[in-house]
Structure 1
Amino acid sequence: MNGRGLDRDGTIAREGALDRVPTVFVPVVDAARTHIAETFDSVRLHSAYLYGSIPRGTATPGVSDLDLQLALHDEPAEADRADAKAIEAALDHAFPQIDGVGILLTSTHVLLSDTERYDAGFFIACLCTPLLGPDLAEQLPRYCPTPLLARETNGDLALVLPRWRTKAAEATTDADRRTLSRLVARRIVRTGFTLIMPRWGGWTSDLGKSAELFGRYYAERAEQMCIAASIGRAPSLNPAVLAMLIDDLGTWLAAEYTAVHGEKDPRP
């Protein structure tokens, strides 16, 4: 893998691996594997994956969260979601080195569909690290940092902004505000990076590097994007910061993204 996150053939390299998990997080990953295997049998579960800073080897104890993707044979049901919530709670309670657990549930039909080829499919093939079961990446193509990939990964920010505004207005606790500010900030930084990704010609999921690269192309918004990267790592309780991310930087970014890459294809 070169300095732009690409393999020798110019395609985006898979960014995580189990042997990159920092030692302090190994017990967390082992416990996650055990909980998933004991809770979801082979009738329901096709495969499980890690993603985020832990498999990338950049996680910070007490700050980073544990991110998991479960690929199910069928569409997720209420029982699946309840079981995932129970695993999240158990892991978060047992390990102080993580600050929260998130489990995504998606069917293999969706992950391998033509509609999701350059979004959820890319996510599995390049951003997820196999934890349990057969690897769906073997059924997916290799990906390049193209405008098509940019459009299909983050070309729907304009649709997300109204939901964020509603959640911001409804946030009543510090926990709500921390969760929302981190979610918003991370999405803003990822969208800012994929906006310039085809011009830069590579891939990174690192928030700080993403903001720095974005600033090379949009200097007038560089300071705001650096703030977003900081909030993505250490969430803020300041309503003014969240308003800046959603109503100023986010609104501008959505319009610029549509102008440069177009809108993401509609989803059902």
Structure 2
Amino acid sequence: MIGLYKVKPRSGLLAEIDRKTPLQTDYVEPIAAAVRQIGGLLGHTLHSIYISGDVAQRCAGSSADFEFTLVTSRALNVQEYTSLNTIRWRIEQSSDVVKRVEFDVVPLKDVTALVNIFKWGFFLKHCALCMSGDNLADSFGHFEVSWEVSKAMNDDLAGKLKDLRQKVAVATKWGSQLDAAEEAAKRLIKAAFGLVASKEGRWEHDLQICADVFLVSYPEKNVEIERLFYLIQRKPVKKRAVVALMDDFGQWVLSEYARIDRKIG
């Protein structure tokens, strides 16, 4: 993984992903096709397209989620979101390497707002690759891992968990339930790692590494982490157990963020 990153500008600052390293071969054409479809739909409303997750890290297996961030010149309307959902379905059906497609749409003014620098600045600089348009990562310097970064990168956890909990609750097919449970588990592990990232002075993307680093400080949460990985492995678990794990561990993580924030503040 070291070869994917540029040399750090100075000690303590994180390196950004090397834009010159090609994507894994199997993902090149599906990503290119997705970018063409997104651009064709949004036209001049689209400022830039980014991809994150395993594909951006060049560590995807035989299939992976396509996690796109779309920066737009304005907020999209209902019709445009409906069309994006159609494109999502087409991309998911286009290739066996595509597990799921996720679109995070954010207006340009939100990305460039100073108040959001620890969220969007950090994300674009250190967690995403620009696939189309003007690369906003060039607008930001390198970051170091800080508590502000951890908070900003997980500030939507409560809302995301609420939505995923609902998806689990109303799912009538195993596939839908497993998708929501897997996403919730991944988010919870990353959020758990965020609790210790600044103390450890590191930022990780690999879920197993995130969990291992977290458990050094919170060994009493080993059972919960094991259960989250059970969901990531997409093994069938009764809804009641999935919801209970999401509620209990999710609330603990959120409470711990609040506790640490009060302590630091």
TM-score (norm 1): 0.86
Matches within 5 A, 1:109-188: 109-155=109-155, 157-158=157-158, 161-188=161-188
Cα deviation, 1:19-49, whole Å, max 9, x if unaligned, reads 35211111211212222232221x2111111
TM-superposed CA distance for 1:77, in Å, is 1.6
In structure 2, which of residues 36, 41, 44 is the aligned counterpart of residue 39 of structure 1?
A: 41
Matched with 2:13 is 11
Matched with 1:49 is 50
Q: Which moved more, 1:81-90 or 1:222-231?
A: 222-231
Matched with 1:251 is 251
Secondary structure of 2:194 counterpart: helix
Matches within 5 A, 1:67-82: 67-82=67-82
Gaps of 5+ in 2: none
Q: Which has the bigger relative contact order, CA under 8 A and spacing at least 6?
A: 1
Q: What is the identity percentage for the equivalent residue pairs of Structure 1 and Structure 2? A: 21
Gaps of 5+ in 1: 264-268
Matched with 1:266 is none
Q: 1:152 is aligned with what amino acid?
A: A
Q: Does the 8 Å CA contact 1:164/1:184 hold for their aligned counterparts?
A: yes
Richer in helix (by share): 2
Q: CA RMSD in A?
A: 2.6
- Give the paired residue count: 259
Matched with 1:213 is 213
For residues 169 and 255 of structure 1, the distance between their equivalents in structure 2, rounded to whole angstroms, comes to 24
For residues 28 and 18 of structure 1, the distance between their equivalents in structure 2, rounded to whole angstroms, comes to 19
Secondary structure of 1:102 counterpart: strand
Secondary structure of 1:65 counterpart: strand
Over 3 Å counting, the alpha-carbon distance change for 1:15 and 1:216 in structure 2 is farther
Secondary structure of 2:251 counterpart: helix
